[in-house]
Structure formats: structure tokens, C-alpha cells
């Protein structure tokens, strides 16, 4: 049972915009930054978005993050087949004094 809540799956067609939500509470998303990771099978998670809406070097702006209250979301515009992967949200939790994750969302490009 993950502390942050994400849908198990999401899907879209090439060129579409897909949004993946991440729900938390006042002790994590509500008071701290949200990070997003992309993970392909057999590989380590890769940082996609940090500090809610910032891009690490090399990440295209087709990926964007937003946060409102105790929820956050990742939007992927101009969907491509190579975007098919698992996406995880994460935040620091003040009560836990540690990092909490969502369960991960498997994105399928139809």
C-alpha cells in the first residue's frame, strides 16, 4: 500500500496529451516538492520532473508537472510510442521523515 496514490494504468494514442495524477496528504505533497520518474523495464528510475515543475537537463518540455494542494499531476503532450513506460511520483513526508512514493502508473501508447 503506497502512501501516494496513482492509477495503475493510463493510455493514449500518438500525439495525444495524457495526464497522470498523484494524490497525497498535507504531510507530503501538501508541504513538499513533488518529483516524477520514468522507468523502463529492467532499468532504474530516471528523474523526469523535480521541484513540482522543473526539468532536469535533457528532458523534453513535452513532459510537464503541476501541483495543487495535496495533489500533483504529470502531463505528457505529443505522446510518442517511446513514452510507454512506468511513471512514479514521489515526495518527502514530514511525518515519516523520509521519501514516499506512488505505486506507479503503467502508460500504454495505443
Partner 1 sequence: QVQLQESGPGLVEPSETLSLTCTVSGYSISSDFYWGWVRQPPGKGLEWIASIYESGRNYYNPSLDSRVTISVDTSKNQFSLKMTSVTATDTAIYYCARHLYSEPLDYWGQGALVTVSS
The site for partner 1 (CB under 8 A) is made up of: 2, 32-33, 35, 43-47, 50-51, 56, 88, 90-92, 94, 96-104
Q: Kindly tell me which of 18 and 104 has the beta carbon lying closer to partner 1.
A: 104
Contacts of 88 (CB under 8 A, 6+ apart): 6, 36, 37, 39, 45, 101, 102, 104, 105
Residue 16: CB atoms within 10 A of its CB come to 13
Shortest reach from residue 38's CB to partner 1, in Å: 12
Shortest reach from residue 48's CB to partner 1, in Å: 11
Q: Kindly tell me which of 35 and 85 has the beta carbon lying closer to partner 1.
A: 35
Q: Which grid coordinates belong to 51?
A: 521541484
**If we measure between CA atoms, which residue out of 110, 89, 94 comes closest to residue 5?**
89
Residue 76 has φ and ψ, to the nearest 5°, of: -120, 115
Shortest reach from residue 78's CB to partner 1, in Å: 25
Q: Kindly tell me which of 76 and 104 has the beta carbon lying closer to partner 1.
A: 104
Amino acid at each position: 500500500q503506497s502512501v501516494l496514490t496513482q492509477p495503475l494504468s493510463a493510455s493514449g494514442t500518438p500525439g495525444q496529451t495524457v495526464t497522470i495524477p498523484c494524490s497525497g496528504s498535507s504531510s507530503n505533497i501538501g508541504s513538499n516538492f513533488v518529483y516524477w520518474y520514468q522507468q523502463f523495464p529492467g532499468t532504474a528510475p530516471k528523474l523526469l520532473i523535480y521541484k513540482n515543475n522543473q526539468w532536469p537537463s535533457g528532458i523534453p518540455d513535452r513532459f510537464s508537472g503541476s501541483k495543487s494542494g495535496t495533489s500533483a499531476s504529470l502531463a505528457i503532450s505529443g505522446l510518442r510510442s517511446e513514452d510507454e513506460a512506468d511513471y512514479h511520483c514521489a515526495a518527502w513526508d514530514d511525518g515519516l521523515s523520509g521519501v514516499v512514493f506512488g505505486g506507479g502508473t503503467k502508460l500504454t501508447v495505443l
